[in-house]
Amino acid sequence: MKKIPFVKYHGAGNDFILIDNRKKEYHLSDSQIQLMCDRHFGIGSDGLIVLEQAEGADFQMIYYNPDASKDMMCGNGGRCIVAFAQSLGIINNKTIFQAPDGIHKAEIISNKDNKSIIKLSLKDVEKIEQLSDGQFLSTGTTHFVCFVENLQTLDIKTKGREIRYDKRFAKTNGTNANFVEIVSEIELNIRTYERGVEDETLACGTGITASAIAYVEKYNTPHNPIIINSKGGQLKVYYTKTQSKTYSNIFLEGEAEKVFEGEFILS
What is the per-residue pLDDT for 163?
97
**Does residue 77 have a pLDDT over 90?**
yes
What is the per-residue pLDDT for 71?
86
Give the pLDDT mean for 255-265.
97
Could you confirm whether 37 is annotated as catalytic?
A: no
Per DSSP, the residues of 150-186 read: -GGGS-HHHHHHHHHT-GGGGGGT--EEEEEEE-SSS
Q: What are phi and psi of 120, to 5 degrees?
A: -120, 130
- 102-120 tens-digit pLDDT: 999 999 999 999 999 999 9
What is the per-residue pLDDT for 22?
98
Mode of pairing for the β-strands spanning 233-243 and 226-230: antiparallel
Write down the CATH number for the domain with range 2-122+256-266.
3.10.310.10
Q: Do domains 2-122+256-266 and 129-249 have the same CATH topology?
A: yes
Could you confirm whether 204 is annotated as catalytic?
A: yes
What is the per-residue pLDDT for 144?
98
**Does residue 243 have a pLDDT over 90?**
no
What is the per-residue pLDDT for 267?
75
pLDDT class of 167 with cuts at 50, 70, 90: very high
- 130-152 tens-digit pLDDT: 999 999 999 999 999 999 999 99
Contact criterion met (CB below 8 Å) for 210 and 245: no
What is the per-residue pLDDT for 72?
87
- 174-214 tens-digit pLDDT: 999 999 999 999 999 999 999 999 999 999 999 999 999 99
Domain ranges of the chain: 2-122+256-266, 129-249
Contact criterion met (CB below 8 Å) for 190 and 178: yes
- 35-57 tens-digit pLDDT: 999 999 999 999 999 999 999 99
Mode of pairing for the β-strands spanning 142-147 and 2-11: unpaired
Classify each residue of 112-125 as buried b or exposed e, where b means 16 or more C-beta atoms within 10 Å of its C-beta: eeeebbbbbbbbeb
What is the per-residue pLDDT for 266?
85
Write down the CATH number for the domain with range 129-249.
3.10.310.10
Residue 97: name the closest of 148, 43, 22 by CA: 22
- 7-39 tens-digit pLDDT: 999 999 999 999 999 999 999 999 999 999 999
What is the per-residue pLDDT for 15?
97
Q: What is the mean pLDDT of the chain?
A: 96
